Amino acid sequence: MSDSRQRFGERLYSELRQLSGYDLITGIMNYNTIQQLKMSDREGTLKLFRGSSYEVIQLLKTGEPEEVARYLVTKAGEAKKNYDPDFGTAILIAISSL
């Protein structure tokens, strides 16, 4: 169970790190963006992911960070399995468009 005192973005980062190691995180975020994510509430996290798919935006608006992380890790795994290099690029563009 997660600590409710943690920020939304910090919980998302922790879950992404736990589920995928650093590969997914560092593949889609630079150091500054990771630091911003760790400090973000739900609204701030939404801003970091603007430009993402409808599904990701809806999960960020209504879901728990752990649910968002599972979705992102699953989609990244599917993209890797299907050799879809555009998935990582799309996430990177969405997150880095600050």
Look at residues 54, 58, 51, 55 and name the one whose alpha carbon lies nearest to residue 28.
51
State the pLDDT at residue 12.
94
Query: Tokens 């400090």 appear where?
Result: 39
Mean pLDDT of 84-96: 58
pLDDT per position as a tens digit, 35-70: 999 999 999 999 999 888 899 999 999 999 999 999
The residues, ordered by sequence, that sit 6+ positions from 7 with a Cβ below 8 Å of its Cβ are 38, 39, 40, 41
pTM assigned to the model: 0.76
The span from the CA of 34 to the CA of 36, in Å, is 5
Angle of helix 54-62 versus helix 65-81 axis, rounded to 10: 160
Question: Domain residues of the chain, as ranges?
Answer: 8-96
Confidence label for 29 from pLDDT (cuts 50, 70 and 90): confident
